[in-house]
Homo-oligomer: A and B are copies of this chain.
């Protein structure tokens, strides 16, 4: 009997996944969490074989959860189930020792099999991501990321400068750099691109 913990902030999906997995005879959903922090606590308590987790959650993301589990529950395998086909996410997930990375777009039937495969020591990566160009590196440095995040929310250079304790000119320099690196035409497009790649 494979003990499964599910971490997912969308109640609807959490409940539905749990119901679906309970139909499998060799799986048992021993705990549910609606964010990473809760999942970590429950993992310590129930010691699940496999953790199925979303990425974007309040309090603690699935990526942070994976990293923490690698440390505290090294025997527990982690499968990420997310909406986002972003190279940055996949890379960070693999770095955190994640064994599975599935997209919510994929048919639900795949999940049970992925759990079994990962439980047996295998790896399951969504085929859309396993291929080629998904190893694009994040070309931005920390400052550029910060500045771009704020710019993407509509703050002016002056506002950003105030928040980050930089001069306005410096902010413009970083933005200019980021725009160039991303091949964008302006800050808006740059922010869009970076977000879409999972770099923000």
A16-B13, A17-B16, A19-B16 known; A153-B108 Cβ under 8 A = no
What's the number of copies of this chain in the assembled complex? 2
A11 touches B107 (CB 8 A): yes
A183 to chain B, nearest CB (A): 12
A185 touches B16 (CB 8 A): no
Chain B contacts of A152 at CB under 8 A? 188
A23-B19, A189-B153, A189-B154 known; A105-B184 Cβ under 8 A = no
B154 touches A11 (CB 8 A): no
B154 touches A16 (CB 8 A): no
Q: Does A25 contact B (CB under 8 A)?
A: no
| Chain A 3-27 interface mask (CB, 8 Å, partner B; 1/0) | 0000001111111111110010000
Which residue of A14, A16, A18, A192 has the most chain B CB atoms within 10 A of its CB atom? A16
Partner of A188, one of B11, B12, B105, B154: B154
Closest 9 CB pairs of A and B: A15-B108, A154-B189, A16-B16, A154-B188, A19-B20, A12-B104, A10-B104, A11-B107, A16-B20
Question: Interface of A with B (CB < 8 Å)?
Answer: 9-20, 23, 81, 83, 102-109, 111, 151-156, 184-192
